Structure 1
Amino acid sequence: MDTSTSPSTQTTATSDEVTGTANRSTTPSSTAFQDYIGSQWADRDDQLPPARAAAAFARRRRDRVSARFPGTRLVVKAGSLAVRSNDCDFPFRAHSAFSHLTGWGSDSEPDSVLVFEPTASGHDTTLYFRERADRSSSEFYANPAIGEFWIGPRPSLAQVASDLDIATAHIDEFAPTDDDVTLEDSELASFLSELRLVKDEYEITELQSAVHATQRGFDDVIADFPRIIREPRGERAVEGVFYTRARLDGNAVGYDTIAAAGPHACRLHWTRNDGPVVPGDLMLMDAGVELDSLYTADITRTLPVNGTFSPVQRRVYEAVREAADAAFAIVRPGIIFRDVHAEAMRVIAEKTAEWGLLPVSAEESLRPENQFHRRYMVHGTSHHLGLDVHDCAQARREMYHDGEVSEGMVFTIEPGLYFQPDDLTVPEELRGIGVRIEDDILVTSDGAVNLSAAIPRTADEVEAWIARQTAN
Structure 2
Amino acid sequence: MSPAATQSTTTPATAGAEPGSSVTELLDAQHPEGREPAPADGDEDPKSHRSVPRSAAFRRFIAQGWGPRPAEDEAPAEAAPYAARRRAALSSLFPGEVLVVPAGPLVRRSNDCDYRYRPHSAFAHLTGLGTDREADAVLVLHPRAGGPGEGGADAGGDGEGHGHEAVLYLRPQGSRDSEEFYANARYGELWVGPRPGLAAQEAATGIACRDVALLAEDLGASVAEPATAGLRVVADADPAVTALVGPLRTGAADEVAAADDELATALSELRLVKDAWEVQQLRGAVAATVRGFEQVVRALPRAVGHPRGERVVEAAFDGTARVEGNGVGYETISAAGDHACTLHWIRNDGPVRAGDLLLLDAGVEADSLYTADVTRTLPVDGRFTDAQRRVYQAVLDAADAAFAVARPGVKFRDVHEAAMRVVADRLSAWGMLPVDAATSLEPEGQYHRRWMAHGTSHHLGLDVHDCAQARREMYLDAELRPGMVFTIEPGIYVKSEDELAPAELRGIGVRIEDDVLVTEDGVENLSAALPREADAVEAWMASLRG
Give the shorter-chain TM-score range: over 0.9
Bigger mean CA deviation after superposition, 184-193 or 257-266: 184-193
**Which of 455, 471, 478 is 1:396 aligned to?**
471
- State how far apart, in whole Å, the 2-side matches of 1:23 and 1:224 are: 45
Aligned to 1:192: 267
TM-aligned CA distance change 1:74 to 1:43, over 3 Å: same
Which one of the candidate residues 179, 182, 186 is aligned to 2:233?
A: 182
TM-score if structure 1 supplies the norm length?
Answer: 0.95
Q: Which amino acid aligns with 1:285?
A: L
Alignment correspondent of 2:207: 166
Where does 1:229-240 land on structure 2 (aligned, <5 Å)? 229-240=304-315
Structure 2 Cα separation of the partners of residues 107 and 89 of structure 1: 12
Which residue number corresponds to residue 40 of structure 1? Answer: 65
1:106 aligns to what?
131
Corresponding residue for residue 257 of structure 2? none
Cα distance change on mapping 1:17 and 1:181 into 2, 3 Å: closer
Cα distance change on mapping 1:232 and 1:402 into 2, 3 Å = same
Number of residue-to-residue matches in the alignment: 461
For 1:445, the equivalent position in structure 2 comes to 520
Separation of aligned partners in 2, 1:341 and 1:61: 30
Question: Residue in 1 aligned with 2:375?
Answer: 300
Q: Is the 8 A contact 1:46 1:159 kept in 2?
A: no
Deviations 1:19-69 (A, max 9, x none): 999431212111110001001101113444211111110000001111111
1:15 aligns with 2:90: no
Deviation at 1:224, TM superposition (A): 1.0
CA distance in 2, matches of 1:411, 1:439: 8
Residue among 15, 21, 30 paired with 2:55? 30
Task: Give the match's secondary structure for 1:28.
Answer: coil
CA distance in 2, matches of 1:16, 1:194: 36
Determine the structure 1 residue equivalent to 2:250. Answer: none
Superimposed CA distance per residue, residues 153-198 of structure 1 (whole angstroms, 9 cap, x where no aligned partner): 2100000000111110000010145853011311110011000000
Answer yes or no: is the 8 Å Cα contact 1:18–1:87 preserved in 2.
no
Q: Is structure 2 residue 93 aligned with structure 1 residue 68?
A: yes
Question: How much does 1:375 deviate?
Answer: 1.1
Q: Distance in 2 between matches of 1:69 and 1:116?
A: 10
Cα deviation, 1:355-390, whole Å, max 9, x if unaligned, reads 111122111111111111111111000000000000
Residue by residue over 1:126-165, the C-alpha shift from the partner in whole angstroms, topping out at 9 and shown as x without a partner, is 0001011111111111111111100112100000000111
Give the aligned CA root-mean-square deviation in angstroms: 1.6
1:125 to 163, 166, 184: 166
Contact 2:458/2:466 (8 A) holds in 1: yes
Match of 1:58 among 83, 91, 104: 83
Q: Distance in 1 between matches of 2:319 and 2:541?
A: 20
Q: 1:207 to 1:433 in 2, by over 3 A?
A: same
Post-superposition offset of 1:12: 4.4
Alignment map for 1:256-335 (pairs within 5 Å): 256-335=331-410
Match of 2:436 among 338, 344, 361: 361
Residue 145 of structure 1 aligns with an amino acid whose one-letter code is: R
Q: 2:183 pairs with 134, 142, 165, which one?
A: 142
Distance 1:47 1:266 in 2: 50
Distance 1:47 1:16 in 2: 28
- Identity among equivalent positions (%) equals 57
Aligned AA for 1:40?
A: G
Match of 1:4 in 2: none
Query: 5+ unaligned residues in a row in structure 1: which ranges?
Result: 1-10
Question: The residue matched to 2:233 in structure 1 has which SS?
Answer: coil
1:17 positional shift: 9.9
Partner SS state of residue 472, structure 2: coil
**Given the alignment, which residue of 93, 103, 106 partners 1:81?**
106
Mapped to 1, the partners of 2:78 and 2:358 lie a distance apart of 38
Which one of 244, 251, 255 corresponds to residue 319 of structure 2? 244
Deviation at 1:470, TM superposition (A): 1.5
Q: Distance in 2 between matches of 1:26 and 1:376?
A: 58
Matches of 1:404 and 1:380 in 2, distance apart?
17
Structure 1 stretch 462-471 or stretch 63-72: which is displaced more? 462-471
Quote how far apart the aligned CAs of 1:222 are. Answer: 0.6
Q: After TM superposition, give the deviation of residue 423 of structure 1 in Å.
A: 0.9
Structure 2: runs of 5 or more not aligned: 1-26, 37-44, 148-162, 224-229, 236-259
